[in-house]
Amino acid sequence: MKTVTGLFDDYADASSAVSALESAGVPSNDISIVSNNADDRYSTNQSGARTGAESGAGLGAVVGGAGGLLAGLGIMAIPGVGPVVAAGWLAATAAGAVAGAVAGGAAGGIIGALTDSGVSEEDANLYAEGVRRGGSLVTAKVDDALAPEAEAILRRSNWVDPVQRRAAYKEEGWTRFDDSLDPYAPDQIEEERNRYHRPPTV
């Protein structure tokens, strides 16, 4: 088994990647999505979903209308990141870290789960920071033979180039994810998204 991971600036791109992975034969149980929800765009009031580790009922219809993994999305909070919508094995690890009050909190759980599944610590920190700044993370555990196709799906779905994004963050003085920092506020996330989502030139 190999872990393939993609960071996305736009939830719609991440959602499309999840659906494409499922269509390619990756079981929903082997896929995870964690998406920043600081602006409350996926409100529990809209969906009737519960918060915490058992959340998820109905939220998938609000955020994508899809079945499979996306139908199980729930809302939770991650230290240093803030509120997220999440589903899958990575989200379950984070929820367990919150419930158990593990040192380092859920962020440590996410980074630990990623590194335990073969993601480098450097990339795991980048991905956690990307979600903190408003992004969405899709991670899939796939058979080695399917890994190249799964990675191609993530790339085609408009993923963030990790080398370029790490360089952009480092230009601002960033070194690694720090869950003791305050989560980004909605206006900071909007500014961050605008930085990377340039309108098309005419």
Domain extent listing, the chain: 2-189
CA dist., res. 82 & res. 42, Å (int): 14
What is the reported pLDDT for 47? 40
* Alpha-carbon gap, residue 136 to 18, rounded angstroms: 11
Q: What is the pLDDT of residue 43?
A: 61
- Looking at residue 98, its pLDDT comes to 47
Residues 6+ apart with CB under 8 A from 112: 93, 104
Confidence label for 187 from pLDDT (cuts 50, 70 and 90): very high
CA distance 119 to 121: 6
Predicted confidence at residue 6, as pLDDT, reads: 96
Backbone φ/ψ region at 107: left (φ over 0), alpha (ψ -120 to 50), beta = alpha
pLDDT of 180 > 90? The answer is: no
